[in-house]
Chain A
Amino acid sequence: MSSEKPPLLEIRELTKTFGSVISLSGVSTTVRAGEVTCVLGDNGAGKSTLIKILSGVHRPDGGELLMDGKPVQLGNPRAALDAGIATVYQDLAMVPLMAIWRNFFLGSEPTKGWGPFRRFDRQRALETTRRELGDMGIDIRDPDQPVGTLSGGERQSVAIARAVHFGARLLILDEPTSALGVKQAGVVLRYIAAARDKGLGVIFITHNPHHAYPIGDRFLLLNRGKSLGDLAKSEISLAELTRLMAGGAELEELAHELERDPSTGEKTATP
């Protein structure tokens, strides 16, 4: 981590309220190119609110966003895309009935020809899709098959490959692994690592500390809109992350409770 170069993205004291609900208050973190910042928190912690601000869907009520050290305003999704911020949702931004290659270039189709003969360069789209997916190590049988026939993990991978291809500098993934099985989640985590190794900054949102810890360089912990900590990997262990994640004391109490039963011989929770 060289301190001379400003980070790709810096979030300073971000605040967002919806009416009387304080969704985010005073949240700060940084994302560097080639690093993964994980955002962890329980349901309703404000994770999605944070990424919606970063992808231009919501406007913050307070705080600052800096890219490469310069303040930026992200007024709408297009502005965020133009700034190189690509967001990947579990099911959004893919049309199930359309072929993979058509989805891959949707909204940014390459064209050839001129005037009234300007047309979708299908050959290039097909080839690029295949190549890009291959580069990410994604094994797709047939780019012509509808996206709807892909598994959740494969679909997620195609979306990541697309974001990487369109030159996103900052990749945001909102709970890409939460709906997936162990194996599929592993596949997606590997693609996140591949994107990181390509030099992208990554924001990875998850519930699961076991997914976050191995891949994360930095961890932002949210609870009810407040930051519980913004820590580098060296400053925190997996056990501690898990503990903070689950609301600390509450989990300890829960663990205590669960452990006591067998020792006292009570058969309260025998399966």
Chain B
Amino acid sequence: MTSATLTGAGDERVARVGLVKRLLLKPELGSLIGAVLVFGFFAALSDVFRSARGVANWLDPASSLGIMAVAVALLMIGGHFDLSAGVQTGTAAITSGLLTTYYGVNTWVALLLSLLLCLAIGFINGYLVVRTKLPSFIITLGTFLMLQGLNLGVTKLVTNTVVVSNFNQIVGYDVLKAIFASEVTIAGASFQIAILWWIVATVLGSWVLLRTRFGNWIFAVGGDLTAARNVGVPVQRTTIALFMTTSFAAWFIGTTQIVRLTSIQAQAGFGQELIYIVAAVIGGCLLTGGFGSVVGASIGALIFGMTSQGIVYAGWDADWFKFFLGAMLLLAVLANQYIRRFAEQSRR
């Protein structure tokens, strides 16, 4: 965007690169086109889909996925996956729930403890990855399984059931509800406050990625680790910080869920980790790291929300949703592959 002014009028070779190809280098472009198409498709099929109530309905699943997708996209651009991100939302909610409802711990202390627990999990994920240099896929698969077992085991041990409930009876629940789960009525439809947090997360994440030193380091660590280390980028700190950011997002979403539902299943979040990755990939993140967009990941989450609700409004069987999602993922991966080859093509 700045290049036109920088190169001035003189260099005829700039024109040869071509506007189309320059646009292709914007990682979020594909997802934007996809979102417009998906919206147009379902809006044509169903009146409710494009009504205020419909919009509020599909923005809701998009928002909680979107907050996670922002963090997961940053992590993926930094070159890593976190398969434990989904179950960490459950871990956060179960910890807060058990501490308050079963052990009578002060609400704020309990929330702080569950936050610290999540950050510690993120730290351990990151630390193991930078220390062992093993793929994050396998490290976080380990923590994923461990946490899944812990979530169920501890919940059963303490409650003798697989659910932690009565969260609405704790002290300060009203305040929590206002922060995490209040609703705003616009045009007769009630919108979740999570949508606002989603927008905040997207703007903040995008700003960090594109406008700060840390953002430059994220691209570098994911793009070429040795090169980053050789020019003095603190690669270990950057990687660990990214895992901890993902854990923070998981804590936020887990808390949102237990506040909204007032109870949480011990299996909560299980399987979601792949959906986060799908949203990030639809948004233009490369599986190999070093390239991607936070805004794109949010648009990926939006596509997810629109498709999941749109299929219901269109009167189809919900089973089709997975098919659509998979098809979109494949399309996105192919497009990303092409863009990458273009960006990396070398005339050596």
Contact = CB atoms under 8 A, between A and B. Distances in A.
A149 interface: yes
B235 to A, nearest CB: 10
B233 A119 contact: no
A97 B11 contact: no
A144 B17 CA distance: 12
Contact of B3 (A89, A144, A179): A144
Please give me the 3 A-B residue pairs with the lowest Cβ-Cβ distance, nearest first.
Answer: A107-B231, A95-B223, A107-B232
A111 B233 CA distance: 15
A173 B32 CA distance: 44
Interface residues of A, number: 37
A152 B346 contact: yes
A149 B341 CA distance: 10
B290 A130 contact: no
A188 B345 CA distance: 21
Contacts, number: 114
Contacts of B290: 95, 97-98
A141 B14 contact: yes
B132 interface: no
A141 B13 contact: yes
Interface size class of B (residues with CB under 8 A): 35 or more
A106 interface: yes
Nearest to A125: B216
B23 to A, nearest CB: 13
A151 B345 CA distance: 9
A93 B233 CA distance: 10
Contacts of B6: 126-127, 130, 142-144
Given A93-B231, A141-B13, A106 B220 contact: yes
A144 B2 contact: yes
Given A94-B227, A106-B216, A109-B213, A146 B232 contact: no
A84 to B, nearest CB: 14
B6 to A, nearest CB: 6
A213 interface: no
Interface in B228-253: 228, 230-233
B233 A151 contact: no
Nearest to B341: A148
A145 B6 CA distance: 12
A142 B226 CA distance: 25
A108 interface: yes
Given A120-B216, A141-B13, A97 B348 contact: no
Given A122-B211, A143-B3, A143-B6, A92 B230 contact: yes
Contacts of B224: 94-96
Interface string A106-126: 111101000000111010001
Contacts of A109: 213, 216
A215 to B, nearest CB: 23
24 contacts: A78-B232, A94-B224, A95-B228, A95-B290, A96-B343, A96-B344, A97-B223, A98-B216, A108-B231, A109-B216, A111-B213, A119-B211, A119-B212, A120-B215, A141-B7, A142-B6, A142-B7, A144-B3, A146-B344, A148-B343, A148-B345, A149-B344, A151-B348, A179-B348
Most buried by A among B1, B230, B290: B230
Contact of A97 (B13, B14, B216, B219): B219
A179 B348 CA distance: 9
Interface in B1-40: 1-3, 6-7, 11, 13-14, 17, 25
A102 interface: yes
Given A78-B232, A146-B344, A152-B346, A95 B3 contact: no
